Structure 1
Amino acid sequence: MALFTVETIRDLSRLGELAEEWERLAASLSPHLPFNFPNWALNWWPAYRRDSLAARDELLCYALRDADGGLVAVAPMFVTHRPGYGPLRTRELQFFGADTNVTEWRGLICRPEQAEPVLAALSARLQQDKPADFVQWRGLPAGTCARVFRGDFTPQAIMDLPVFYLDLPDSWDAFKRNLPRNVKESLRKCYNSLARDGHPFTLRVVEAEADVPAALDVFFALHNLRAEARDTSVRHPDVFFAAQSQDFLRAFCADMARRGDLRIFQLVIADKVVATRVGFILGDELYMYFSGYDLEWSRYSVMTTLVAEAIQWAIAHRLRLFNLSTGSDVSKTRWRPARVDFFGGYQILGGAVSRVPLAALLALRNRRSPAKPAVVAAGGEPQQGLAAGSS
């Protein structure tokens, strides 16, 4: 069995010192997820950490190294105390990303083939130190043996999460040849309906940092409009309704733009943006994040057209992989993508005494209304009731 050293990190500056090694580790994983990279975590914690009488979040991350000192895993985690202060509190250890689904994936950052020994080493440390009453595990690779947890582990089906992606060929024609007939027909109708009604469009790709604030203003407005749609098969909540989440995305996108890794796709008709989607360049992969569209143009399926245009853009720029993001809605599965599955659950650390508060917390979370996400800071409820990852 592989032996790893486990470093406990309680200070954000120390976590930042790992950024260069962490970046290389995240870049070695595929499909790439922006949430795996250090700049997401280092922006997320200051934005969502909370310190109130109701709940208090305490940084508690872990870095695991092999016998040669190489970084093999990062666990960006924190303990939520409920209530925030006082002798009678529950303590939950969970990953960065407890928000209104702004973070579409969260979990342990390591290579899949090392997941079991890494989990075994980290779980052993947690059982030894008992920093919390229970752990909320997420992002575990499908097939990972739950027996590595030296304690009670309860899988949660609601934490099951697929990631869908497309391996891109050398040309758009080659890509279309492998599409199902119904998708080819849908694409034909999308393009023909706009042309028939005299609506020529252009694809605008925003990437310069100076242009990002205005592009995000449009994105937030159209994302909110999308959430108001009632005649769709999948309900899309307004993930960015809170100023806190908008401020976080603005900071992260500015950072990505400075790195040259931001692309905001806009479908423009008569000088008006009718559909938009945020994308992140991660090596030779493109991750498609959340979207929005003008409901007045929904009869033209402008979001489908925008995705098709973004795929063509990615192929033209010699990208290898087009990540459709998380969630199983038809807007992703229709493209016949490949998929990677993850699961999650709870591990008891505090013995039988921790079962009651965990049961009470789960009951509270399961009663949450799916109609509209509440303002959730770090330590907030998991993404239940939301169209998780439905970008």
Structure 2
Amino acid sequence: MRPTQRLRAALFTAAALAAALALPAFTAPAGAAEPIRIGELNSYKAQAAFLDPYRKGMELALKEINASGGVIGRPLELVSRDDGGNPGDAVRVATELLTRDKVDLLTGTFLSHVGLAVSELAKRRKVFFLAAEPLTDKLTWSDGNRYTFRLRPSTYMQVAMLMPEAVKANRKRWAIVYPNYEYGQSAAETFKRLLKAAQPDVEFVAEQATPLGKIDAGPVAQAIADAKPDAVFNVLFAADLARFVREANTRRALEGTFVVSLLSGEPEYLDPLKEEAPTGWVVTGYPWYAITIPEHQKFLDAYRAAYDDYPRLGSIVGYATIKSLAAGIAKAGSTQTEKLVDAFEGLEVDGPLGPFVYRASDHQATLGAFVGTLAVKDGRGVMVDPVYVEGASVLPSDAEAAKLRPAAD
């Protein structure tokens, strides 16, 4: 090659390289629809056992919805942040999602006091908020507002689901153990009120309110044993539940004692106990291995294909959260807040546990839960004889709910 040819070749190569470097890393197709941005915040670090499966459930729903064309001609995009497990951080994170990330709506939260803080922010800023997991009754009743809806069955609903078995046991001396924050306090107060109404001669002989995530399980189990109750209502979950069960087993603190327990049949909290799982407890939970309806089988097959794992209750909640938002946006035909609120009032959603509705009266979903008895099978805890209780069957009437929301709007 002559010197002149070599120079021309070099100049051509340099120009081509410069042109290539000037191209963006990704060019969206002309006319591509703007995504609908869902701002989601949760206590991922603090409550990983529930929220890792929850995230997977959300991702599965997103893939299904976007693969079928999205909603109102737009794909869904999830913008997730950790809320630090406390109200102050949650409000800051939610505000950043709205102002910096420009999300169209808010969803998520796990802990009840965190959910209440974000709900208040939603009311103040007039932004739509679907609370996925917080269970406190205040969220939809005394502290409810126009802009907040809730997916999961509340503490009132789940206590009411357990109440028939508690009353049928006809035990007089009850002890209560619960985490000492909004969820535990709400559940304990509801249980005492409903049981006292059904069984006026009942006595509450011990009450252990423990710090969330920091239970001193030995003394707690011993204090309950020393009170000599013939029945116990447990509201502990996650690591606190495991520690309590192990100490109670070691000390034989609950031998011969009838126990009803919120959440203890959820795989997130039952599976780690393995053969130490308490037998005979009446619980709410999610027996994924015993649900035969077609909607759940379809979800189970898709989840296993995606993650090579079985779902937890968090998976159901995450999946149903995104499906609810998609249904609400489709009904509203918009992401505009006031239209979304109107669309969610009376919204019908098809979920893995069957159809449910968001009530207009109190913004509570009628999603239900399973009630069953704990047993040990093949070295692990399971729920036996589980029965699905429809959420609508344990909710007060619309007229009664309206009285519980004096300052909702």
TM value normalised by structure 2:
0.31
Q: Report the TM-score when normalising by structure 1.
A: 0.32
Structure of greater relative contact order (alpha carbons < 8 Å, 6+ residues apart): 1
